[in-house]
Amino acid sequence: MRVLNGRAADRWRVLPRRLASAGLGARLLAALVVVLAVVGVTAWLVAGVVGPYMFHKHLVGDGQRSAAEQAAHAEIAFRSASGVALSVALAAAIITALVVSIAIARRIGSSLSSLSAASRRVADGEVGTRVPSPRMGREFDDLVESFNLMASKLDASEGLRKRLLSDVAHELRTPVATIHASLEALEDGVADLDAETVAMLRAQSARLTRLAEDLAAVTRAESGEMNLSIQPCDPTQLLRAAHDAAREAAAERKVTLTLEADSTLPQVAADSDRMAQVLGNLVDNALRHTQAGGEISLKAGAARGMVELSVSDNGEGIAPEHLPHVFERFYRADTARDRAHGGSGIGLAITKALVEAHGGALRAESAGVGRGARFVVAIPVRGTRGGA
């Protein structure tokens, strides 16, 4: 008996938590059950208290009534008791229903008003607005969670937009100023249009062109507008092609370039041209940050239904505080992505967007400054979810 009582007590303690996590439909059903319970309890109480009293009142007489008269009195007593019980029960039900309905309506109205006001603030540019959980059921909680997630993404996008505009302005300032100063010097006769000046002007215009092309490429990749020709590809051949394409540049920089791949790896679903761009960007990035005498290693292996293609170097490395940001547009760190290395600042952003367009993932690893870096491209195996 004690065990049963203990289980019943546990169920009653768990009930509020279950109700809190229940949906709006379950809460409305619970309110209806409360109303019906009030009706039943009220009718039972009225019938138990008023019924006997009215029966007694109608049946007590002077003892001279006939059997027919007593039966008529009994019927009157029954009808009166039933009418009173039903009337009181109905009144209690109406009052309870009104109270419960008003409470629920106020809670729902308050929650919707809060969400509506927050939506207007976000529309007015206050992307830092958040809505607290109304605790009105799973549906409302999911709606508020989705709204807050949307607001967080808008907030992050707004920060990225501001930083992007600032970085683009900074990137444009140097070549534009250089070209403007050179043209003024030519107009004033201070400088001559010799081969050196022409080469400098071409280099600065090429830098502007490269920046514009990179911005367009990363925008198309991140928006999903880039068309991919997904075909079964041999990951070893992809890595070998990247190795062969970078071999001459590595020799010029006196950097050792090695290749290690398992020939039995399964095929991947990829666009071979875009994957050549991905691996080429990673190898170029490694070459920019590896000194003469260093080593860059290209490897391929299988892991958890994916094929991983990695580009590792023993160069400058990346500080821990900069590691989470290396794939952001124009993000630079003195020890990892300095402007002196000549990159546009969005090569890794393009690379990440291309990999994710394949249904894969790109991650960066580094033990710290001066200890090299490793970039790993994970591509779905052909025939798996996300693969061809």
Cα 270 to its chain centre, rounded Å, is 25
DSSP 3-39: HHHHHHHHHHHHHHHHHHHS-HHHHHHHHHHHHHHHH
CATH dotted code for 140-223: 1.10.287.130
Two structure tokens written together for 146: 């989705």
Per DSSP, 384 falls in state S
CATH dotted code for 231-380: 3.30.565.10
Two structure tokens written together for 278: 């991905």
Distance CA 281, CA 210 (A): 14
In the chain, count of helices (H) and strands (E)? 8, 7
Q: In this predicted model, what pLDDT tens digit does every residue of 123-177 receive, in sequence order?
A: 888 878 888 877 766 777 788 888 888 888 888 777 767 766 776 776 677 788 8
Domain assignments of the chain as residue spans, ordered by start: 2-124, 140-223, 231-380
Q: In this predicted model, what pLDDT tens digit does every residue of 195-245 receive, in sequence order?
A: 888 888 888 888 788 777 777 777 776 666 667 788 899 999 999 999 999
Count of C-beta atoms within a 10 Å radius of residue 151: 20
Cα–Cα distances in angstroms (integers) from residue 174 to residues 207, 269, 329, in the given order = 10, 41, 18
Cα 73 to its chain centre, rounded Å, is 75
- For residue 286, the model assigns a pLDDT of 93
Query: Would you say 294 and 315 are in contact if contact means Cβ atoms under 8 Å apart?
Result: yes
Query: Would you say 378 and 362 are in contact if contact means Cβ atoms under 8 Å apart?
Result: yes
- For residue 55, the model assigns a pLDDT of 61
**Residues 318-323, mean pLDDT to the nearest whole number:** 90
Please tell me which of 206-215, 249-258, 324-333 the model is most confident about, judged by mean pLDDT.
Answer: 249-258
Distance CA 240, CA 236 (A): 6
